[in-house]
Amino acid sequence: MINSNDFKTGITIEWEGNIYEVLEFQHVKPGKGGAFVQTKLKNLRTGANIAYTFNAGIKIETAEIKKVEMQYIYDNEDKAVFMDNETYEQIEIPKDTIRDELQYLTVEKNAQVRFYGEEVLGIILPDKMVLEVVDTPPGEKGNSATNTMKSAILETGIEIRVPMFINNGDKIVVNTVTGKYDTRYKE
């Protein structure tokens, strides 16, 4: 159990039959009435974000979430198969539940799989991933000083905007939080 006054960003709670991660919180003590805690919560089962206000000082059940480093090994029709890097145990995750994350994940790359007991809640990617550009118009020499961007399709099929000097076959670093180009990858 946790007191609503002790909320911190990143903790997980069970509330009204769902599992939430606290994204933001603010303790409010108005001039009149009792104190309360305004929160922004992410439902770990659906991915939806909600705003919720808790009364100050109430007890809420914490949710024990286990994160396991696993490797994305292959696709099995509508499921993605991951393997535990330590036990070599394999699990299948429906692609629909991790559709956004799969835009940045290639086979043989690692991600953290989030579990609540035996239930798989999803995956957590590193903030930045290296991906190869497979289709973009040719780059222009000497055009690196401007902020002009062009469209590029990456090896996972996602389309993002990249600087004009990026060419087919280049590896780039993509921010998985924003979905934007970060920098050219240097091996």
| DSSP string across 51-91 | EEEEETT-EEEE---EEEEEEEEEEETTEEEEEETTT--EE
Q: Which CATH architecture has domain 66-124?
A: Beta Barrel (2.40)
Domain ranges of the chain: 2-62, 66-124, 128-184
- Tell me which fold the domain 128-184 belongs to: OB fold (Dihydrolipoamide Acetyltransferase, E2P) (2.40.50)
Q: Which fold has domain 2-62?
A: SH3 type barrels. (2.30.30)
Domains 66-124 and 128-184 share a fold: yes
- Residue-level pLDDT at 32: 84
- The reported pLDDT for the residue numbered 49 is 92
Q: Residue 46: pLDDT band by 50, 70, 90 thresholds?
A: confident
Rg (CA), the chain: 21
Q: What is the pLDDT of residues 142-166, one digit of tens each?
A: 555 567 889 999 999 999 999 988 8
Taking the C-alpha atoms of residue 176 and residue 19, their distance in angstroms, rounded to an integer, is: 23
- pLDDT grade for 31, boundaries at 50, 70 and 90: confident
Q: Stretch 73-78: mean pLDDT, rounded?
A: 89
Instruction: State the pLDDT at residue 75.
Output: 87
- Asked if pLDDT for residue 10 goes beyond 60, the answer is yes
* CA–CA separation, 69 and 44 (whole Å): 18
d(CA 142, CA 13): 53
